[in-house]
Chain A
């Protein structure tokens, strides 16, 4: 019925995921890194929703899981920013490569 194959949605999700991943691993600005992570989560959500329609056993579960993922992502964004701000207060920078406390 649908003229758009499932793999098209999956491919879109894959590309978005890769973009997010690239951003998360290369960008220096912490805010952008956080945003990139959100983008990756979104890509995953697309997959979830896709499979809820085109899966082997399609059901509403995929969408419910996407909802959960969104809420967790929201919480994560909030906490992430809180951490970012408190870090910024002590370090006066948002550059991720200056945050290397794990080294010692």
Chain B
């Protein structure tokens, strides 16, 4: 089965092509094309995953591009991480395909939506089976385009347009880091192949500085894609896209690609302490930074978006603390519960036609299915014991503690508290209390929207049990099997960490309960010291404005300056040339008196001059 793994990405590509060419004629039927082909991918992925449990890594390659003596190859590889990612991506993608059939129903560009989904899924699946950096980069960019197209799906909305543009450019900034890192690494190791790069790093063929440099450059790519500080601002804006897209791309798959990249190149990062520390610091900072913004946002999807950024920071923190398993594990569980949360949020939006949580409330009774599912997701992300998020988060905290930087550990703990708090703030505001605005025709979503949510809900609960301190760490052992560079499968941390995590998350929930349900604490207690803090948080620390004032303004300024040069200097040069030519022409035309004699005289004089020169020099020019 594994030798046919290359087919997995091709199904969605086929879907993309079919829908692109015949979408107009297929109309509503295009959904089935997309769903069926993604299902095929899913089935293949499951088969591959199960086969990978028992068999060793499979990889193959062929020459893609020849440059003199250099042969760049393309191919695919099914190792543990890839197989797991294949499964996650194709599963979420399949569910989102199904969900969208209901959510996007009636949109006039329905087939286009499915085509884009197909393109994105293709790129994402291609990304996770790439055996080399170049191929990774190729799909990395394609994923970006898929995301760009889907964010800008409502192309007629100015916000969507701006968000799409922002997403593309911000991630591209990161991509350039990856690009440079990749090329530098290539010239150091003479190969793009992961295996050869690791071998070279292992053999000490690459200098320490170079490892750190390339690792950090590649990490910049991951920062861009995974919305880490300081390139995080595009991700919340990306919520302008349709909600299923947010679930697929901006929660479960693409943004996790950054984490995946770091995980896939983990042996490289592991070779540099500096790089690891950088990742950990950025991750921890992003986690708490984004969580704090998430505390005050009022748009349901934006809260989830900041939560995503924060959780991705968690994963980075785990990887940076050498907790390879913890990072990947959290990546998996997060994919499930965050996708669930987004789909549920989509369901809510579908019902009430607003995204502002201040206008919601009391939906628990009206949305009998969405409510509990959302609660499951909220509990999972908050790290309540028993659900998947608890185990993975615990793993990360352990890794952070073992990583030897207590500050990072405490930051993570605070972020966990905030996560629990803002998630339950969201839950209480949306589902409990009284409706704060008039809501007509609130109804539960159709089946093809709820079934995917139910499945994800189940996974959000049970997915954690594949790797727990209680029932064995199957996933972790499997992931690091045969690859000592990745660290231990499971690290037994002190028990108090688990207790602390639980206490922190429960505390967060309790605070939220007091503040938003019982209202026994005034909502401005925390920010009671003044509105300043609240304003800062609401404006996301003014990062966007900061960029606008510095980077964008600088670029524009430079552009105008260059245009000044273009207009005055270069055009001046042109004018000068033109002036000289014209001057010559004028002089020439003055000599055109129309008198044959003058012409003759001039011609003769010149001839005589030439003859004299020749006579003096002795003939042919030497």
Contacts and interface: CB of A to CB of B under 8 A. Distances in A.
Chains A, B in direct contact (C-beta < 8 Å): yes
A25 B593 contact: no
Nearest to B599: A102
B54 interface: no
A103 B594 contact: yes
Secondary structure call for the A interface: helix
13 contacts: A24-B597, A24-B600, A25-B600, A25-B604, A26-B597, A96-B595, A97-B595, A99-B594, A99-B596, A100-B593, A102-B594, A102-B595, A103-B594
A85 B596 CA distance: 18
Contact of A100 (B594, B600, B601, B604): B594
A103 B596 CA distance: 10
Contacts of B595: 96-97, 99-100, 102
A26 B600 CA distance: 10
A101 interface: yes
Interface in A54-92: none
B594 A96 contact: no
Interface in A12-50: 21, 24-26, 33
A36 B604 CA distance: 15
B524 interface: no
Contacts of A25: 597, 600-601, 604
Interface of A: 21, 24-26, 33, 96-97, 99-104
A99 B595 CA distance: 6
Contacts of B600: 24-25
A101 B594 contact: yes
Contact of B593 (A21, A33, A103): A103
A103 B592 contact: yes
Nearest to A100: B594
Contacts of B596: 96, 99, 102
Contacts of A21: 604
Contacts of B594: 99-104
Interface string B182-220: 000000000000000000000000000000000000000
Nearest to A97: B595
A25 B596 CA distance: 9
A44 B399 CA distance: 109
Contacts of A104: 594
A29 B596 CA distance: 13
Interface string B582-607: 00000000001111110011001000
Nearest to B604: A25
A99 B596 CA distance: 8
A104 to B, nearest CB: 7
B587 to A, nearest CB: 16
B597 A97 contact: yes
